[in-house]
């Protein structure tokens, strides 16, 4: 089955700094790569996603880059703000499946004011 690894498990940055979280996966058939943000006690929310035919996608302060050859994709947050503090999960879709997202173990991001 799909093996998903996320690094780092915790990340602490100063407000205004950038944060990068990396996700590696094993299933070469995976073709959809989302990132979810989960605030404490709340639901996971999709913040950005990318498909396998695209290398990079940006949405304001958030970007995702994909390296299909190396089987990893990364979340980039620039100009971090305290409200970015949350747990971030990568969840590549298991190749060929519908909605069987395999979540990573999460990265707890803390943004210090």
Site for other proteins, residues 7 to 66, rule: CB under 8 A? 32, 34, 36, 38, 42-46, 49
Answer whether 84's CB lies under 8 Å from 77's CB: yes
Radius of gyration of the chain (CA): 13
92 binds other proteins (CB under 8 A): no
103 binds other proteins (CB under 8 A): yes
Smaller CB separation from other proteins, 7 or 78: 7
Smaller CB separation from other proteins, 105 or 112: 105
Distance of CA 69 to the CA centre of its chain: 18
């Amino acid at each position: 089955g799909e093996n998903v690894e996320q690094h780092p498990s915790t990340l602490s940055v100063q407000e205004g700094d950038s944060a990068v979280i990396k996700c590696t996966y094993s299933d070469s058939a995976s073709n959809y790569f989302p990132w979810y943000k989960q605030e404490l006690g709340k639901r996971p929310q999709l913040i950005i996603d990318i498909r396998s035919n695209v290398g990079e996608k940006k949405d304001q302060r958030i970007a995702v880059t994909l390296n299909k050859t190396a089987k990893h994709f990364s979340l980039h947050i620039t100009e971090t703000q305290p409200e970015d503090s949350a747990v971030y999960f990568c969840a590549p879709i298991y190749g060929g499946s519908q909605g069987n997202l395999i979540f990573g173990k999460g990265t707890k991001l803390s943004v210090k004011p």
